[in-house]
């Protein structure tokens, strides 16, 4: 009888130990399954491309923000209505990519790029503008912009450019790159010649320009002649129109 009791006790004990081990394995498997391949919400947010939008037109800002927020791999970290605010928000949020208009109040796009890059030379900035003059493109790229796009760019092309610039690439469409190359290879106007052009655009005579710049009328005539030759134009009107189109001056 004693032998039978031991056998019965042995049979009863074994299933309990087995059930306990099985329960342990089930609990461990559930824990692994919950963690595997399911990052926390904070991790998913960190993996998104943080974009700062800077444009002085509220409709443009809101449209860009709405478009970007629809993308699962992007998020809007801030919206600025002028260049000064863009710099302040950049320093506050440190976005992955900044979309920046070229002409804004308080501080223009090129000025904002320079200030941001002075803080961090690795800042990734895309100029998104309506201006396609070779001087505009040159000044933006020279300041440190990694991309230059026009506002009529297709939506998906814009999204792709954000991803590419975030990855470290430079994005300038072929037709704008051609203008940039022409600007780099062509003759450049001196700072004094630009000053003369600006006053020409205001309708000033050679005498008035000389008085404003504290130079002789003869010196003004020499500058005007050089401007015509470098810009390949034959009149003041043509010079001003070409300079405005290229982004050399702003009316």
Each residue's pLDDT tens digit, 181-240: 878 777 788 889 989 999 999 999 999 999 999 999 999 999 999 889 888 888 898 888
pTM: 0.69
Buried b (16+ CB within 10 A) or exposed e, 120-135: eeebbbbbbbebbbbb
| Cβ(200)–Cβ(240) below 8 Å | yes
The span from the CA of 233 to the CA of 242, in Å, is 8
Question: Considering only CA atoms, which of 61, 56, 102, 57 is closest in space to residue 78?
Answer: 61
Residues 6+ apart with CB under 8 A from 51: 68, 74, 75, 76, 77, 95, 96, 97, 98, 99, 162
Rounded (5°) CA angle 126-83-246: 60
What are the DSSP E strand ranges found in the chain? 49-54, 74-80, 97-100, 125-129, 147-150
Residues 6+ apart with CB under 8 A from 69: 75, 76
Architecture of domain 187-246: Orthogonal Bundle (1.10)
Residue with tokens 């800042």: 123
Q: Three-state SS for 230?
A: helix
Q: What is the mean pLDDT of residues 155-184?
A: 92
Residue count (the chain): 251
pLDDT band of residue 35 (cuts 50, 70, 90) is: very low
The yes-or-no verdict on residue 156 having pLDDT over 70 is: yes
Measured CA to CA in angstroms, residue 235 lies from 61, 136, 150, 228, 250 at distances of 40, 23, 30, 7, 18
Task: Take residue 199 and report the two structure tokens written for it.
Answer: 């006053």
The yes-or-no verdict on residue 56 having pLDDT over 90 is: yes
The yes-or-no verdict on residue 15 having pLDDT over 70 is: no
Residues of the chain with CATH 1.10.10.10: 187-246
CATH 3.40.50.2300 fits 42-184, yes or no: yes
The span from the CA of 194 to the CA of 192, in Å, is 5
Residues of the chain with CATH 3.40.50.2300: 42-184
Helix-helix angle 217-231:206-213, to 10 degrees: 110
């Amino acid at each position: 009888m004693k032998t039978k009791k031991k056998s019965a006790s042995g049979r009863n004990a074994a299933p309990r130990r087995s059930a306990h081990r099985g329960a342990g394995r089930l609990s461990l498997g559930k824990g692994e399954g919950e963690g595997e391949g399911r990052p926390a919400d904070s991790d998913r947010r960190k993996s998104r491309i943080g974009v700062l939008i800077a444009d002085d037109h509220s409709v443009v800002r809101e449209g860009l923000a709405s478009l970007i927020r629809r993308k699962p791999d992007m998020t809007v970290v801030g919206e600025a209505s002028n260049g000064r605010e863009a710099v302040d928000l950049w320093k506050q949020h440190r976005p992955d990519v900044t979309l920046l208009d070229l002409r804004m109040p308080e501080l223009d796009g090129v000025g904002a790029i320079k200030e941001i890059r002075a803080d961090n030379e690795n800042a990734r900035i895309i100029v998104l503008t309506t201006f396609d003059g070779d001087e505009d493109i040159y000044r933006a790229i020279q300041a440190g912009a990694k991309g230059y796009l026009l506002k009529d760019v297709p939506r998906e092309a814009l999204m792709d450019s954000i991803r590419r610039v975030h990855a470290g690439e430079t994005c300038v469409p072929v037709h704008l790159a051609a203008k940039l190359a022409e600007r780099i290879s062509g003759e450049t106007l001196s700072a004094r010649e630009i000053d003369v052009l600006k006053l020409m655009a205001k309708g000033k005579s050679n005498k008035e320009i000389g008085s404003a710049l504290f130079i002789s009328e003869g010196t003004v005539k020499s500058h005007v002649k050089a401007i015509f030759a470098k810009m390949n134009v034959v009149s003041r009107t043509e010079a001003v129109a070409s300079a405005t189109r290229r982004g050399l001056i702003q009316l």
